[in-house]
Amino acid sequence: MSPSRSAQRNVRDVVFVDGVRTPFGKAGEKGIYAGTRADDLVVKCIRELMRRNPSLPADRIDEVAIAATTQTGDQGLTIGRTAALLAGLPRTVPGFAIDRMCAGAMTAVTTTASGIGFGAYDVVIAGGVEHMGNHPMGAGADPNPRFMSERLVDPAALNMGNTAENLHDRFPAITKDRTDAYAAASQAKLAAAYTKEQIQQDLVPVATMKPGQGWALHTTDEPPRPGTTVADLAELRTPFRAHGRVTAGNAAGLNDGATAAVLASAEAAEELGLPVKMRLVSYAFAGVEPEVMGIGPVPATEKALKNAGLGIEDIGLFEINEAFAVQVLSFLDHFGIVDDDSRVNRYGGAIAVGHPLASSGVRLMNQLARQFEEDHSVRYGITTMCIGLGMGATVIWENPHHADYQSFTADQATTAATEGAAA
């Protein structure tokens, strides 16, 4: 038998080293990124990661995976590769593009993390971008007519706002009053996090230029509306259904922005002196009925917990993407978690900060990593989100600052040493 066949392959630990993002902007001609290219936003993130981690040689990066939902124009042309070249990484560094709609960046992370665990990579950059001003969701798409003619999906599945209204129908206990209260709390939590400078640490300043206005430097998110009240939200119209429950106030907006993160094997991180902010424990994706895509995080979380041998009671922090408030509340109700549980979205969420589709997964990870750093009592946390066309995604992470984390890594090192001696 050849050595390659006889050698035993061990799955390696994958760690989250660092993550950054641009400030998120409002999509449209009045937004801060009107006239700015999507790929330039990604380049900003990659360059900032390299600046923040000087012990990481650029030629040690084994892959760059960048997600975009609308892969055309300045978000096309295999953006992982083009962004790597534009960021000045060596030409020997490959790259690729990913599309899983809202979970693009999350899939970029899990895909490259799997490569690290398998041994194909040591260090990667993964992230996402969405410039919804340049590329409105669904622009240029040509859904196969069989979807409608053969009734493969409900027509509502192709409009995310309609799927949120459908979720309200399925769970009548989730009233508009509850979603508005949740949305107002998201705005308040984000405002408090900004006051405590818990958000700014991972933002990449972005300079933009607009004709007739000159240059501007953007260092904060554009979408938040601090001071929003439930009374304010009650006055908003329901665009997806007459007398409906989903409004612009209890849903994420249309946004522009980019994210990127460095992931590494635990061994490579130690070798290169890179920080370890989180350890990947497990992940899962799940499909659901497209017309109620917001329920996707529930089966994805159940699968991820089963894979990890954990229960929902083991999770001390939740970062749940707030595509719609009803989506978050359906998740909380399923697991018996109250609306204002202090473990959930401590810094607020997408309803306040924005949701540039394929980029948002790494934002969730940045915020969870920051909370792990602040709260050493929490061992496990999750990042989870619903995905258009009926899917959900969940990643479970471990806090390296927790007391039991050190014993875990020490136990692994002892086991590896014992196995090595026996061999």
Active-site residue, selected from the candidate residues 45, 131, 218, 386: 386
Q: What is the DSSP letter of 205?
A: P
Instruction: Read off the tokens for 334.
Output: 């399923």
3-state secondary structure of 260: strand
User: What are the backbone angles phi and psi of residue 67, rounded to the nearest 5°?
Assistant: -100, 150
Residue 65 phi, psi dihedral angles, 5° rounding? -115, 120
Residue 159 in contact with residue 240, Cβ under 8 Å? yes
List CB contacts of 312: < 8 A, sequence separation 6 or more.
Answer: 301, 305, 335, 337
Exposure on the CB side of residue 240, measured as CA atoms within 13 A: 21
The active-site residue, picked from 102, 131, 218, 401, is 102
Catalytic site residue 386?
yes
Chain-centroid distance of CA 250 in Å reads: 19
Which one of the listed residues 135, 168, 355, 402 is annotated catalytic?
Answer: 355
For residues 42 and 22, what is the distance between their CA atoms, to the nearest angstrom?
A: 8
CA distance 23 to 32: 9
Q: Give the C-alpha separation, 356 to 102, whole Å.
A: 8
Distance CA 413, CA 423 (A): 15
Separation between Cα atoms, residue 59 and residue 91, nearest integer Å = 9
Catalytic annotation present for 45: no
| Phi, psi values for residue 271, rounded to 5° | -60, -40
- Supply the residues annotated as catalytic: 102, 355, 386
